[in-house]
Amino acid sequence: MAHACALTCVAPILVLPCIAQADFLGDSSTTLSLRNFYFNRDFRQDNAPQSKREEWAQGFMFNAKSGYTEGPVGFGVDLNAALGVKLDSSAARAGTGLLPNAFGNAGPGEYSDLSGVFKAKLSKTEIKVGGLMPKSPVVLSSDARLLPPLFNGVALTSTDVDNLMIDVGQFRSVNYRNSSGNHDDLRTANYSASSDRFDYAGAAYTLSPQLTASFWRAELENVYQQNYYGLLATQTLGRWTLGGNLGYFDSSEAGAQRAGKIDSAD
């Protein structure tokens, strides 16, 4: 049996105001977040190769977002910079995912990342190219460790049609949560296989203020393909809001089947 314990302390966000000369500057924002993270996982099963994983680290995350230039098509840029610093670790306790190391290798004392995003907007349709942090049922930039991973590619979102949200994108590489560089081996959480291309498309339609239906389609080239069907319902009861989120995933192998046969129904 393994027991895990993680403690996270996030410092207040510092917002640096920008001079409101135009939408490009007036709608911009700058934030600096500090995160102190301690992680302990105790392995108690017999013959465990590692008795425990225990590390302590400090993270710094700087984010700058511009507004859009004036005109029918607006343009803007975003900047993401991050630094992770080791506070306590050892070769015998490494491998928590906080730092770029593994059991038997304490790793470097720090790691960092710098990434930018070019963006353009027409009406209520926005396209972004660069290092992104997607949040959807089929691809997620998890914030469960010191620094979030960045997926490098292109993403388009649109709400031009009333009650309809469309999200389409492609990623070709990733900067993992404990890495300083980009990697073209996009990996799954459940299979020991990777690819250098991930495509997805999704849509969510608001049927009523209380009900939203969604569908997503994703494919990790030559590894797996996946469909997601979702239904989100909410109901106000006095001062309370009752909500339910129902989702169904249907996954199968794709292309060269690098992870072998995949059947989510099994």
To the question of pTM greater than 0.75 for the whole model, the response is yes
Residue 17 lies in a domain: yes
Domains identified in the chain, total number: 1
Please tell me the predicted confidence (pLDDT) of residue 49: 86
Cα 42 to Cα 1, 6, 34, 39: the distances in Å are 9, 11, 27, 10
Q: Is 228 part of a structural domain of the chain?
A: no
pLDDT of residue 35: 96
CA neighbours closer than 13 Å in the CB half-sphere of residue 35:
21
pLDDT at residue 22 is higher than 90: no
Asked if the structure places residue 213 within a domain, the reply is no
Q: What contacts 235, CB < 8 A, 6 or more positions away?
A: 210, 241, 242, 243
What CA–CA distance (Å, rounded) separates 53 from 93?
Answer: 4
> Is residue 164 in a domain?
yes
Which residue range(s) make up the domain with 103? 2-184
The string of pLDDT tens digits covering residues 179-188 is 888 888 888 7
Does residue 202 belong to any structural domain of this protein? no
> What tens digit of pLDDT does each residue of 72-131 get?
999 999 999 999 999 999 999 999 999 999 999 989 999 999 999 999 999 999 999 999
Q: Confirm whether 99 is domain-assigned.
A: yes
Strands 125-132 and 110-122 turn out to be antiparallel
CATH number at residue 69: 2.40.160.10
Residue 215 lies in a domain: no
